[in-house]
């Protein structure tokens, strides 16, 4: 437990980037601390290592919520399962047969099939005993110890969902994953305290590609936040073309609330 896993609900940006390998923006990964437990939302390639680099102990995690199956969001799932297996084996060889705490992997429909295919040809014949999988349907709410999490369908891939956390202190946090602009995203972030929206592209590139690539720009993200009445907007999932323009300044022309451009290691309490 460290300053980033305190009893107060909080968000830590582990990776604010994309599939592009950049030293300052790791692949998408968010750490949500409910006040009692700690979950990742997405784990792109290298997320466990990024946690360790930010001096956050991965053994404090209770699970991960996946928004969709693109590699930049789910790439470290294989590594997470391998890590849990190795921890299990290490304990057994040390004479400790106590099961590791349950680690729950949540995701949209298709999660179990995805994992079965992932391990079809791998030498790991089964899952570590501590792992359980839960497929979450749009509009379904998962009740945790002192927090609830509701999935909302978002327009990106067929299975894509965003997650809205409601904490024991009454505060709310919504994370879009990858998405375009539509009314279901407004429902996801309606009157939310903190909206974490992707901001993949600058406005020009977004305008050219929006009919075939489902992402947001600073203006479309800000329009969603404004329409939904979100209080704080955090822009993340930033490709290089968006990293070289003033996305906060552009978004502020549309959105009246507080705007933060995510950076790796950024920590915010939700209170
Ligand atoms: Zn995607």
**Widest CA span in the chain:** 61
Non-local (6+) Cβ contacts of 183 within 8 A are none
Contact 6, 267 (CB under 8 A): no
164 sits in which H/E element:
strand 161-167
Calculate how far, in angstroms, residue 210's C-alpha sits from the geometric centre of ligand 1: 14
Calculate how far, in angstroms, residue 67's C-alpha sits from the geometric centre of ligand 1: 9
Calculate how far, in angstroms, residue 11's C-alpha sits from the geometric centre of ligand 1: 21
Calculate how far, in angstroms, residue 205's C-alpha sits from the geometric centre of ligand 1: 17
CA 136 from chain center: how many Å? 15
- Residue 6's pLDDT is 57
Calculate how far, in angstroms, residue 156's C-alpha sits from the geometric centre of ligand 1: 7
Calculate how far, in angstroms, residue 215's C-alpha sits from the geometric centre of ligand 1: 8
| Domain count of the fold of the chain | 1
C-alpha torsion sign, points 25, 175, 62, 8: positive
Integer Rg of the chain from CA: 18
Q: The whole model's pTM is what?
A: 0.95
- The angle formed by the CA atoms of residues 89, 81 and 12, to the nearest 5 degrees, is 120
Interatomic CA distance for residues 27 and 71, integer angstroms: 9
Contact 219, 251 (CB under 8 A): yes
Calculate how far, in angstroms, residue 1's C-alpha sits from the geometric centre of ligand 1: 31
- Residue 49's pLDDT is 97
Calculate how far, in angstroms, residue 263's C-alpha sits from the geometric centre of ligand 1: 19
Calculate how far, in angstroms, residue 175's C-alpha sits from the geometric centre of ligand 1: 13
pLDDT per position in the chain (271 positions), as tens? 344 545 799 999 999 999 999 999 999 999 999 999 999 999 999 999 999 999 999 999 999 999 999 999 999 999 999 999 999 989 888 898 888 999 999 999 999 999 988 888 776 667 899 999 999 999 999 999 889 999 999 999 999 999 999 999 999 999 999 999 999 999 999 999 999 999 999 998 898 888 788 999 999 999 999 999 999 999 999 999 999 999 999 999 999 999 999 999 999 999 9
Calculate how far, in angstroms, residue 23's C-alpha sits from the geometric centre of ligand 1: 20
Between the CA of residue 76 and those of 30, 71, 177, what are the distances in Å?
13, 8, 16
Calculate how far, in angstroms, residue 102's C-alpha sits from the geometric centre of ligand 1: 28
Calculate how far, in angstroms, residue 71's C-alpha sits from the geometric centre of ligand 1: 8
For residue 63, what is the domain's CATH number?
3.60.15.10
Between the CA of residue 56 and those of 52, 100, 104, what are the distances in Å?
5, 18, 19
Residues with CB under 5 A from ligand 1 (ion): 70, 178
CA 203 from chain center: how many Å? 23
Task: Look at residues 237, 238, 224, 234 and name the one whose alpha carbon lies nearest to residue 261.
Answer: 234
CB-count exposure of residue 208 (10 Å: 0-12, 13-18, 19+): exposed
Starting from the edge strand earliest in sequence, which strands make up the sheet with 141-143, in order?
141-143, 147-153, 161-167, 172-175, 194-198, 232-236, 258-261
Calculate how far, in angstroms, residue 89's C-alpha sits from the geometric centre of ligand 1: 34
- Residue 1's pLDDT is 39
237 lies in which domain range?
A: 3-269
Calculate how far, in angstroms, residue 197's C-alpha sits from the geometric centre of ligand 1: 13
């Amino acid at each position: 437990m460290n300053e980033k896993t305190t009893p107060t609900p909080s968000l830590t940006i582990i990776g604010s980037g994309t599939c592009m390998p950049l030293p300052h923006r790791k692949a998408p990964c968010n750490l949500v601390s409910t006040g009692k437990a700690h979950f990742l939302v997405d784990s792109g390639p290298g997320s466990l290592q990024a946690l360790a680099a930010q001096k956050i102990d991965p053994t404090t995690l209770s699970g991960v919520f996946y928004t969709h199956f693109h590699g930049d969001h789910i790439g470290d799932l294989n590594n997470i399962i391998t890590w849990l297996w190795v921890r299990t084996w290490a304990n057994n060889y040390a004479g400790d047969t106590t099961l590791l705490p349950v680690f729950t992997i949540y995701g949209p429909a298709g999660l179990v099939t995805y994992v079965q295919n992932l391990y079809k040809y791998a030498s790991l014949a089964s899952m570590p005993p501590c792992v359980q999988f839960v497929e979450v349907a749009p509009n379904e709410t998962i009740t945790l110890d002192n927090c609830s999490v509701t999935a909302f369908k978002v327009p990106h891939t067929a299975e894509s969902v965003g997650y809205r956390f409601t904490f024991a202190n009454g505060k709310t946090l919504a994370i879009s994953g990858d998405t375009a602009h539509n009314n279901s995203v407004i429902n996801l972030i309606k009157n939310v305290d903190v909206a974490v929206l992707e901001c993949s592209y600058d406005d020009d590139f977004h305008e050219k590609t929006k009919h075939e690539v489902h992402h947001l720009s600073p203006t479309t993200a800000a329009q969603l936040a404004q329409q939904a009445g979100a209080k704080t907007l955090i822009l993340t999932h930033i490709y290089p073309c968006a990293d070289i323009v003033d996305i906060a300044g552009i978004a502020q022309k549309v959105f009246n609330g507080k705007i933060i451009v995510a950076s790796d290691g950024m920590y915010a309490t939700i209170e």
